[in-house]
Structure 1
Amino acid sequence: MPPRPLRLASRRWRRPRGPLGGGATGRVGSGLTASVPVAPAAPLAAIDCGTNSIRLLVAQPVVGADGTAGPSRTLSRLMRITRLGQGVDGGGRLAPEAIERTIAVLREYRAEMDRLGVPEGRVRITATSAARDAANRDELLGPAEAVVGARPELLTGDEEGRLSYLGATAELDPADGPFLVVDLGGGSTEFAVGGPDGFAVARSVDIGCVRMTERYFTADPPAPEELHAAITVSTEHINDVVREVPLVLAAKQVIGLAGTVSTVAAVELGLAAYDRDAVHHFTLTRAAVEDVFRTLATESRADRIHNPGLEDARADVIVGGCCVLVAVFRVLGLDELLVSESDILDGLVASQIGDASGPARPGEASGA
């Protein structure tokens, strides 16, 4: 399907509207029977140090009378954009100011965990693409351990994909699978696919909103040739994934994760403020993705920030992320994908308690 001509009208003049197709959120039930609760266990926490944002989930496992774990209850879910991956694609090192921003947020998260009573040994913290690529990663990992009380785990891309798959699919009905989970981050994108018995394989490629922006964009708004270059490179990487893992084409349902996907959904919905319930399990169509992309790509950053649903701190990298997302839809021939706000954090929580029955329940979080 050839791309439509660029449209110059800003989406900020549109009135907020509901999900496409008239549904409220298109949620999918888990089909699981919850255990009869006896008493909540001690809370636990997961922190993901990504290329663009640092996120925290504090959850309280609920244990049933039979000793099995039910879906965890969310106590806090926070996100801060620190741009940890600033300059890593070009220089191969974490910038001192980016490390400082990240450590400052980790101090905030440590205080939140203390407030909620997360005990020692109940925290799992991971570092992903930016830390993987940086020669000076220990300048982050050491101070982070001192603040949080746990050594950050440097995940491979495939490990990151597996955890994202676990978090994104735990509350879905297996009968709707097999699933393909696309985790579009700041420095990399993970493609994790399942089979009849759950997770099967994951592949990570170095395309993300920060990486595409820093590598290809110099003009504001990006020049057509810059957009073309970012989409072309993204397309080549995704084609490599398809060749290596043909199973991705067999997925019955595709789930999209992370900031770019959630932001495109929020802009399409016209959300004046972030609403997890509206974004989670919203069906994002190809037409909507192409439309939002054309709008944001033709606006300067100063104009782009007026679009409802777009955070100011994400405005400079969202077009780079859209280039990757557009390529995902085009290469895989997708008509739609399911947006999920359950992701690697939920997978990290589940991995700590062996709870694959469901991610932390949405709608009970503080923060966004």
Structure 2
Amino acid sequence: MRLGVIDVGSNAAQLLVVDAHPGSAPLASYAFKRPTVLAEEIDADGALSAEGIRRVVRAMASVVGRARSLDVGELFVFATSAVRDAANRDEVVAAVREATGLRPQFLTGEDEARLTYHAAHRWYGWSAGRLLLLDIGGGTLEVVLGRDAEPELAMSLPLGAGRMTRRFLHSDPPTGKQLRKLGKHVRTGLREAVERLRWEGAFDRAVATSKTFKQLARLAGAAPQSAGPLARRSLTVEALDHWIPELAKRTRAQRAALRGVSPSRAGQVVAGAAVARELMVALDVREVDICPWALREGIMLHQLQHTLSPTDPLALRTVRPMGSSWERA
């Protein structure tokens, strides 16, 4: 069975294709992405600009076309917070459907957290014990705690790297005052989550996923993507303490030239690093392991292991079978 997942986010529309069967690992047989770069296309009212909508449509048309060329049998299309939370979400969805024949589905932040945890739990296995999972996206921050297949606690907070950049880091490079305001806001926003986690008790292993953590780990010297998913990668608070001032004194263009920092994410990497540090310090986590699996793999695993129904809170119905008989919706 050839499955595909398209994730439309604030930085890119990404396609993951897996040739899989129940019980198999969702190792990608093909991955493809096209940039959206929406961080600067969200206005003060939370709506995507006309240019932002065009970027989403262009990226979606490209990745959907690639999915068709690969004869994907089942395709799941979903959008994360940049589109999901947009004030003009219906307009964006209508434009995507007109261009591609597909309507993106939406998950809540907590559902994203649970599915990402599902992937991390499968990657590390039962021997990892109780997992603490951290995930910094463009719009939200997910924090999950659990030992079993389903997490005990899953939280989604509006502290994503793109959102924090738009709200606090208005100059390039950012000023010290802007960074201090950002740090204070993140600490305040984390307070309730930290209290809940302390109430739940200790964890055995802290892991992180998302492109933000991956690029920060690479910046700090972790193995490149070419080393494969089995290479161990980690990120420490000490590394963040070193790199945050180094990143903050550089312009966006200068940051894009650094190891592991892509041009599309160079604008929000300072905020991402600041959020990561505040989060790890608040939770007394000195080091996190970087998990190569995340939300898209979680969706794949969930689909492969469960017979989904419309009443399942995590159900993702096939948007449109694709292949020689594919037609526009």
TM-score range, shorter chain: 0.7 to 0.9
1:123 maps to amino acid: L
- Give the SS at the match of 1:191: strand
Cα distance per residue 1:185-233 (max 9 Å; x no partner): 0111111211345422211111111111111112221111111111111
Aligned to 2:12: 53
Give the superposed CA RMSD: 2.2
TM-fit CA distance, 1:89: 6.5
Cα distance per residue 1:235-267 (max 9 Å; x no partner): 111222122443665221111111211111111
| Percent of aligned positions that are identical | 27
TM (norm. structure 1) is 0.77
Aligned to 2:287: 336
Distance 1:70 1:187, change over 3 A: same
Aligned to 1:82: 36
Cα distance per residue 1:251-287 (max 9 Å; x no partner): 211111112111111111277x753627964021111
Structure-to-structure mapping, 1:84-123, within 5 angstroms? 84-88=38-42, 90-119=44-73, 122-123=74-75
2:94 maps to amino acid: G
TM (norm. structure 2) is 0.85
1:208 maps onto 2:160 in alignment:
yes
- Higher mean displacement: 258-267 or 280-289: 280-289
Q: How many residues align?
A: 306
Distance 1:234 1:138, change over 3 A: same
- Give the SS at the match of 1:309: coil
Aligned to 1:354: 305
1:235 maps onto 2:235 in alignment:
no
2:61 maps to amino acid: R
- Higher mean displacement: 331-340 or 194-203: 194-203
**Which runs of no fewer than 5 residues in structure 2 stay unpaired?**
307-329
Cα separation, 2, equivalents of 1:279 and 1:302 = 31
TM-fit CA distance, 1:126: 1.5
Aligned to 1:190: 142
Aligned to 1:312: 263
Question: Are the counterparts in 1 of residues 43 and 49 from structure 2 also a CA contact under 8 Å?
Answer: no
Question: Are the counterparts in 2 of residues 94 and 136 from structure 1 also a CA contact under 8 Å?
Answer: yes
1:300 maps to amino acid: T
Ranked by relative contact order (alpha carbons within 8 Å, sequence separation 6 or more), the top structure is 1
**Which runs of no fewer than 5 residues in structure 1 stay unpaired?**
1-41, 63-67, 356-368
Aligned to 1:302: 253
1:57 maps to amino acid: L
Aligned to 1:171: 123
Structure-to-structure mapping, 1:268-307, within 5 angstroms? 268-269=220-221, 274-275=225-226, 277=228, 281-307=232-258
